[in-house]
């Protein structure tokens, strides 16, 4: 392996380990605010920063060493009781950890970070002198002034390009060149004004992480951070995979011997029985290997949850609220890819819980509640799915107010709103453009956010439900599959073509009786257990001709509606691996897979299909309507 590859591996290891240490430091800082005299917490935080500083020094990342050293000195004063833990001191420290995280992002992008914001360094020095109780912190923590979308010109600095920065890191590690912080600093100067203006332009947005989350990590931004491509795996899981691979190899050898016997004409009962037993054994082994391989992708959701105490704390302080965040089920394991995709939806939910759900301390006291509210993130496995809940003990949501706001904003008409029950009314918040705020603020008012949550959860083949009680609070429940690697589907047929529907959307399969299908307000409908549901033809949704009336219906539960999907027949349930279609994305098709018989199956994306404006009449689907019985 080359020195350059060694350097790359060492940097990746540093970012992984230091990132975990920093996340732990952030959470311990939140605990420290509740228990300012906890000596163990202070010592743990000090050791975490000391370790980060030492590793950064080994890599010659001067700017990071400088910032960590100054912050470490402040921790040393706190743990030796020369300074007291106050909210103002913690603000300064949390701004420093945000800047450290931004430096990690720069390193992940193979760029040498410039010096930390001078204002932040001055505040750290002031805190060391016992002057942290001065001017409050700015609304947005100091961060590295770097615009990832616009790389500085070569003329601006001799280390302007990413490749040059990477080479300097590499040379610094080998002792060939000291990474000069001064030479990197000019890179940031042309970008500083751009970042400032960009933030001013976002002052009144529903940016999901506008508070307490460093720049470059905000949802929808051009991210400096490079997505992690490595995971830590328990060696026992790898041992299981290796053991199963060996057993499969033995089964393969046995099959080769049996194939030779069959070719040589030995087709007796013993040979056939041995073939049957070996195939069954191989089937079990492959299933076990598949499960074991998927377990290597599983990670505890705690690595995601630990990001949110900091977010809740910073936003609550900005809004003048008191909030404590509780984490439950941190050891619950979930597919690594799902964990990554959950980050933005949970940011929205936590932020909305603090901003919209939680009352001010005065309101809570007047309502007989404790001043400090509780936001709870919980996860647990339920069967073959994961349940994640974000709840708070705030004011709750009023369905009648949600209906009124939706009508005022033109999102639904008055007649539709009047026909909604409370459960459907709560789901109005998922409509694009919906907001309960009449005025814009830095954290809300644009009606952007909850529709993003719904969309992202749907992409993960999940559901989101809302339960809210006036004066008691609101709970968002997200149900997700354990993994995206294998998708359970129901395979249906339209004519001779098979299509797959994610099994998470399927609630029931029924036989369609044309006599029970009626036309209601010009739409085809069917009454199931006193609930009138619209019937949508799969052929019509796909824009395909249908030569016969559909015989079966699939009761589908999308995020905001329940309906019956009319199909010709079924092929059964299967667990499939979905592959995207390159260079072509038909509307309503999420990807393709192969059925057990080798046929190509299109995996349907139900939300996109439902956006189709085509409604098929009852007569077009089933022929003329049945005659109504004559009155006696």
630 lies in some domain: no
Residues 421 and 317 in one domain: yes
Helix/strand/coil percent split, the chain, to 5: 45, 20, 35
pLDDT at 375 (0 to 100): 94
Which of 465, 461, 427, 432 is CA-nearest to residue 449? Answer: 432
**pLDDT at residue number 374:** 93
Q: What is the pLDDT of residue 88?
A: 85
Q: What is the DSSP letter of 137?
A: P
Which tokens is 118 given? 């001078």
End-of-domain residue from the set 481, 504, 533: 481
pLDDT over threshold 60, residue 370: yes
Q: What is the CATH number of the domain that holds 397?
A: 3.30.565.10
CATH at 507: 2.40.50.180
Q: Do 322 and 346 lie in a common domain?
A: yes
Ordered strands of the 323-328 beta sheet: 323-328, 373-382, 385-392, 473-481, 463-469
Q: Answer yes or no: is 217 within a domain.
A: no
Please state the pTM of the whole predicted model. Answer: 0.61
309 with 379, same domain: the answer is yes
The answer to whether residue 426 sits within a structural domain is: yes
Q: Classify residue 24: in a domain, yes or no.
A: yes
The verdict on 465 and 560 lying in the same domain is no
Burial 191-220 (b: 16+ CB within 10 A, else e): beeebeeeeeeeebbbbbbbbbbbbbbbbe
User: Is residue 209 included in any domain, yes or no?
Assistant: no
Which one has a higher pLDDT value, 274 or 171? 274
- 507 and 456 in one domain? no
Tell me if 211 is assigned to some domain. Answer: no
Q: What is the pLDDT of residue 454?
A: 84
When computed from its CA atoms, the radius of gyration of the chain, rounded to whole angstroms, is 29
pLDDT above 60: residue 86: yes
Q: CA 358, CA 373: separation in Å to the nearest integer?
A: 7
Lowest mean pLDDT among 326-340, 479-493, 576-590: 576-590
Give me the number of domains the chain comprises: 4
- Percentage of the chain beyond pLDDT 70 is 76
Residue numbers of the domain that contains 599: 487-622
Cα 259 to the center of its chain, rounded Å: 48
Question: Of 454, 481, 508, which marks where a domain is finished?
Answer: 481
Angle between helices 162-173 and 3-34 (to 10 degrees): 90
Report in angstroms the alpha-carbon separations of 578 from 2, 331, 458, 554, 573: 37, 28, 15, 21, 15
pLDDT band, very low/low/confident/very high, at 559 (cuts 50, 70, 90)? low
Check: CB of residue 434 under 8 Å from CB of residue 425.
Answer: no
Q: What is the mean pLDDT of the chain?
A: 77
Residues 179 and 99 in one domain: yes
Q: Establish if 317 belongs to a structural domain.
A: yes
Looking at the fold, whether 157 and 259 belong to one and the same domain comes out as: no
Are 249 and 278 contacting, i.e. CB atoms less than 8 angstroms apart? no
Structural contact between residues 563 and 532, judged by C-beta atoms closer than 8 angstroms: no
């Amino acid at each position: 392996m080359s020195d350059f590859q060694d350097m790359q591996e060492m940097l990746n290891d540093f970012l992984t380990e230091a990132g975990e240490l920093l996340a732990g430091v952030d959470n311990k800082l939140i605990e420290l605010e509740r228990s300012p005299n906890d000596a163990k917490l202070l010592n743990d935080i000090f050791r975490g920063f000391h370790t980060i500083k030492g590793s950064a020094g080994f890599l010659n990342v001067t700017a990071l060493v400088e910032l960590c050293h100054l912050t470490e000195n402040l921790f040393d004063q706190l743990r030796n009781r020369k300074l007291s833990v106050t909210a103002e001191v913690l603000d300064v420290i949390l701004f420093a950890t945000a800047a450290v995280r931004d430096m990690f992002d720069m390193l992940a992008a193979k760029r040498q970070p410039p010096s930390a914001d001078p204002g932040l360094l001055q505040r750290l020095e002031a805190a060391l002198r016992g002057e942290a109780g001065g001017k409050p912190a700015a609304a947005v923590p100091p961060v590295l002034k770097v615009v990832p979308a616009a790389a500085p010109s070569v003329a601006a600095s001799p280390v302007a390009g990413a490749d040059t920065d990477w080479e300097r890191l590499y040379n610094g590690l080998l002792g060939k060149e000291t990474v000069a912080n001064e030479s990197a600093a000019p890179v940031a100067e042309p970008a500083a004004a751009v970042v400032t203006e960009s933030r001013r332009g976002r002052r009144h947005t529903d940016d999901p992480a506008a508070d307490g989350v460093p720049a470059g990590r905000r949802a929808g931004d051009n991210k400096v951070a490079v997505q992690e491509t490595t995971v830590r795996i328990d060696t026992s899981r790898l041992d299981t995979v290796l053991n199963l691979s060996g057993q499969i190899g033995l089964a393969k050898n046995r099959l080769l011997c049996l194939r030779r016997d069959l070719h040589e004409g030995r087709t007796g009962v013993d040979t056939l029985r041995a073939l049957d037993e070996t195939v069954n054994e191989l089937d079990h082994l492959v299933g076990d290997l598949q499960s074991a391989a998927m377990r290597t992708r599983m990670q505890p959701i705690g690595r995601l949850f630990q990001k949110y105490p900091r977010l809740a704390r910073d936003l609550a302080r900005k809004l003048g609220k008191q909030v404590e965040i509780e984490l439950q089920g941190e050891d619950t394991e979930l597919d690594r890819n799902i964990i990554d995709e959950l980050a933005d939806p949970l940011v929205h939910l936590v932020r909305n819980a603090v901003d919209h759900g939680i009352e001010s301390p005065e309101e809570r006291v007047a309502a007989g509640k404790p001043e400090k509210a509780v936001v709870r993130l919980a996860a647990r496995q339920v069967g073959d799915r994961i349940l994640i809940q974000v709840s708070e003990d705030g004011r709750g949501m009023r369905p009648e107010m949600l209906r009124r706001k939706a009508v005022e904003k033109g999102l639904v008409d008055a007649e539709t709103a009047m026909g909604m029950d409370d459960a459907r009314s709560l789901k109005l918040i998922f409509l694009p453009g919906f907001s309960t705020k009449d005025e814009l603020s830095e954290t809300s008012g644009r009606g952007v956010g909850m529709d993003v949550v719904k969309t992202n959860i749907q992409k993960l083949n999940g559901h989101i439900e809302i339960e809210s009680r006036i004066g008691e609070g609101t709970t968002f429940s997200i149900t997700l599959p354990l993994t995206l690697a294998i998708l359970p589907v129901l395979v249906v047929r339209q004519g001779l073509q098979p299509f797959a529907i994610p099994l998470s959307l399927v609630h029931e399969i029924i036989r369609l009786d044309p006599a029970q299908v009626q036309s209601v307000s010009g739409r085809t409908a069917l009454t199931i257990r006193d609930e009138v549901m619209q019937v949508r033809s799969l052929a019509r949704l796909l824009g395909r001709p249908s030569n016969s009336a559909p015989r079966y219906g699939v009761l589908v539960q999308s995020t905001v509606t329940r309906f019956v999907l009319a199909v010709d027949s079924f092929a059964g349930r299967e667990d499939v691996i979905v592959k995207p279609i390159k260079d072509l994305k038909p509307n309503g098709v999420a990807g393709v897979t192969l059925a057990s018989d080798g046929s190509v199956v299109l995996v349907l994306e139900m939300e996109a299909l439902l956006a189709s404006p085509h409604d098929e009449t009852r007569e077009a689907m089933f022929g003329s309507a049945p005659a109504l019985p004559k009155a006696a």
